[in-house]
């Protein structure tokens, strides 16, 4: 059991998550790809009462996709970074793994909606790797 802190890129929004994380999903669905602009979401799941705002809660905007049953996101209105949010049904908190200050002490459980994955996800894993941006 441990506490985590996370926040947005500009630093206005900060939050604390009381662990543990129960699940860690990498979601390749078209909604997650569209929202994130990348291959998949990386979402940690924690208890419904685990989220505490440290600052900037008034900067957070929530988006519930109208035609979806459960798709939601929350983000900093200043920099657009995804931040933690309570699921629509109130059952759990979803935490974007990349928004944490430290590494979560859980590895991804799965890839979900994997049939919807972008073709370039798997081919990209084999691409040439640099420590930083190439010259
Ligand atoms: Zn921000
Ligand atoms: Zn998804």
- Residue 27 CA to ligand 2 center (angstroms) comes to 4
Q: What is the 3-state secondary structure (H, E, C) of 22-45?
A: CEEEEECCHHHHHHHCCCCEEEEE
- Residue 127 CA to ligand 1 center (angstroms) comes to 31
- Residue 117 CA to ligand 1 center (angstroms) comes to 28
Measured between alpha carbons, how far is 135 from 132 in angstroms, rounded to an integer?
A: 9
Q: Which H helix or E strand runs over 36?
A: helix 30-36
Reported confidence tier of residue 1, pLDDT bands at 50, 70, 90: low
Q: For the full predicted model, state whether its pTM sits above 0.85.
A: yes
CB 4 within 8 A of CB 100: yes
Interval 101-117 mean pLDDT: 97
Domain ranges of the chain: 3-118
- Does 1.20.1090.10 match the CATH number of domain 3-118? no
């Amino acid at each position: 059991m441990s506490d985590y802190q996370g926040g947005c890129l500009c630093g206005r929004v900060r939050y604390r998550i009381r662990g543990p994380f129960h699940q860690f999903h990498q979601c390749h669905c078209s909604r997650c790809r569209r929202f994130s602009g990348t291959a998949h979401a990386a979402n940690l799941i924690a208890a419904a009462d685990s989220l505490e705002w440290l600052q900037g809660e008034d900067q957070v905007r929530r988006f519930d996709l109208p035609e979806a049953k459960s798709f939601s996101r929350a983000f900093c209105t200043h920099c657009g970074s995804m931040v933690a949010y309570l699921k629509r049904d109130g059952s759990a908190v979803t935490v974007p793994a990349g928004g944490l200050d430290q590494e979560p002490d859980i590895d991804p459980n799965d890839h979900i909606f994997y049939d919807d994955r972008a073709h370039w996800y798997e081919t990209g894993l084999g691409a040439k790797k640099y420590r930083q941006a190439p010259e």
